[in-house]
Amino acid sequence: MSELTHLDETGAARMVDVTEKAVTSREARAEGFIAMRPETVAMIVDGEHPKGDVLATARIAGIMAAKKTHELIPLCHALNLTSVKVHLTPVSDGATGVHLEAVCRLTGQTGVEMEALTAVNIAALTLYDMCKAVDRGMVIRDVRLLEKQGGRSGHWKRG
């Protein structure tokens, strides 16, 4: 296992110095799932939720969150994201809920994994917030990085 990059030689927390890192095209993809009752999914899909378009609101929240990741997670760099896409797919067969996926891209000196993970988490929390009046038992789960490309460590994909 490599060393923890956010700790200096004495073990103190530090921001990683990316000054000498090459500027490359970078991309990260993350996913998650919010489980909910079938009636809640149906309300969202049928556009009958009293708060309006729940999926559009969650999508925008995820995009905004990716752009603000450096304000939420200590030691993250402020990044000039060139693309953030958040996909929300209602699922009604087997496990019911909404599958979330975020893809973040940029050309820069550091990766965008935290931005993709933040987008998924905040989109899921927004869905929870908007639907909690009708379904308090929702569960956000399985948030994880699926793939990252670019940078010194190259391409990584979940097996």
Question: For residue 97, what are the CA distances in angstroms to 7, 44, 82?
Answer: 39, 10, 29
Q: Which two tokens stand for residue 51?
A: 């708060």
Catalytic residue among 8, 17, 46, 129: 129
Distance from CA of residue 36 to its chain's centroid? 19
> Quick check: is 129 catalytic?
yes
Q: Inter-axis angle of helices 113-131 and 54-67, to 10 degrees? A: 150
Q: Which two tokens stand for residue 58?
A: 């969650």
> Please, what is the Cα angle at 45 between 44 and 48, to 5 degrees?
55
CB of 156 closer than 8 Å to CB of 148: yes
- The single residue listed with the structure tokens 């670019």 is 150
First to last CA, the chain: 18
Question: What are the catalytic residues?
Answer: 129
